[in-house]
Amino acid sequence: MSSAHRPNTVKPLFTFVDGWKGPESQFNQRAVQKSFSKFRKAASEFVHYLAERTFPLQNDLQGIPPEWELDNPEKYRRTVDELNRLADLMVQQYRSFVTLAKKKLDE
């Protein structure tokens, strides 16, 4: 089972979570701000879990240590499942935010 990624593919998420603190993260519409905050929280939970549970591998990849799959399959499976759950939640919150923001812009 592959659980590796190239760190540069998720770097924009880390920049978003850790760097967007100014006016680009503030909205006048209360509902849009609330939705953005939910998205940002979900993104933060994902990237922080990713940073805590993945490690450098070969060929400039980052991932869950492959030995976990053999030595501790339950830990490996839990980690994969949680990363997938957090990624799905982040995408869901992103879609909700974009849908609401577009709707508010059309009003």
Residue 107's SS3 state is coil
Q: How confident is the model at residue 14 (pLDDT cuts 50, 70, 90)?
A: very high
For 15, the token pair is: 């920049």
This prediction's pTM: 0.90
Provide the token pair at 91: 């995408």
Distance of alpha carbon 30 from the chain centroid: 23
Write the pLDDT tens digit of every residue in 48-74: 999 999 999 999 999 999 999 999 999
Taking 60 as the threshold, does the pLDDT of residue 12 lie above it? yes
- Closest residue by Cα to residue 4 from 71, 86, 45, 60: 60
Measure the N-to-C terminal CA separation of the chain; round to a whole number of Å: 46
User: In the structure, what pLDDT confidence band is assigned to residue 1 with cuts at 50, 70 and 90?
Assistant: very low
User: How many whole angstroms separate alpha carbon 37 and alpha carbon 26?
Assistant: 9
Question: Lowest-confidence range among 18-27, 46-55, 72-81?
Answer: 18-27
